[in-house]
Amino acid sequence: MSPKGFHFIVEASGCGPVISQVDRLQEILVEAARRANTQVWSVSFHRFPPDGVSGVVVISESHLSIHTWPEVGYMALDIYTCGEESKPQVAVDYVLEQIGAKQTHITEITRGLDDGDMEYYHSFVTWQEVLRRNGN
């Protein structure tokens, strides 16, 4: 049986200063949702002192959320989509490119699996990537 959805949990380190910019992060996540072939329903972003940002983009297929700690260059990203047409990996890749992360730890969870008995479970894979070294 087909899974109900795909859930990406992303830890990003060494992020650029953009992770303190509320308006820019909102633009990035809305564009990520568009690139993932999803429909945006609502958007809410908020700044937390001194420079952190939290935001959520509710999509017809579920959500994208972000929480940042610019003082240590860290971003937590959560993207969950359901539906066969959505492309959550495209959204993840776009966000990571835009924030200039140096390293990531990603977990992809395949959710809503069942063996035909209506008892659902998930499976996951996790990996790390070095995206940039010494600012390159």
| 131 burial via Cβ count (<10 Å: 0-12, 13-18, 19+) | middle
Domain count, the chain: 1
- Asked, for residue 135, whether it belongs to a domain, the answer is no
Reported as a single tens digit per residue, the pLDDT across 111-122 is 999 988 989 999
Report the run of H or E that residue 81 belongs to, with start and end: strand 74-82
What integer pLDDT is reported at residue 7 of this predicted model? Answer: 97
Does residue 129 come out as left (phi exceeding 0), alpha (psi in the -120 to 50 range) or beta? beta
What integer pLDDT is reported at residue 109 of this predicted model? Answer: 96
Identified catalytic residue from 20, 62, 63, 86: 62
**Cα–Cα distance, 86 to 36 (Å, whole number):** 5
What integer pLDDT is reported at residue 133 of this predicted model? Answer: 57
Q: What's the CATH number where 60 sits? A: 3.60.90.10
Spatial CA neighbour of 55 closest among 47, 18, 99, 89:
47
Where does the pLDDT of residue 74 fall: very low under 50, low under 70, confident under 90, or very high at 90 and above?
Answer: very high
The rounded percent of the chain whose pLDDT value lies above 90 is: 87
Identified catalytic residue from 7, 15, 82, 86: 82
- Asked, for residue 18, whether it belongs to a domain, the answer is yes
Q: What domain range is 34 assigned to? A: 5-130
Please indicate whether residue 50 or residue 20 has the higher confidence score (pLDDT).
20
54 a catalytic residue:
no
Identified catalytic residue from 67, 86, 105, 122: 67
- Asked, for residue 136, whether it belongs to a domain, the answer is no
- Asked, for residue 76, whether it belongs to a domain, the answer is yes
- Asked, for residue 40, whether it belongs to a domain, the answer is yes
What integer pLDDT is reported at residue 129 of this predicted model? Answer: 87
Q: Which residues are CB-neighbours of 77 under 8 A, at least 6 positions away? A: 8, 9, 10, 12, 64, 65, 66, 92, 95
44 a catalytic residue:
no
What integer pLDDT is reported at residue 132 of this predicted model? Answer: 66
82 a catalytic residue:
yes
- Asked, for residue 106, whether it belongs to a domain, the answer is yes
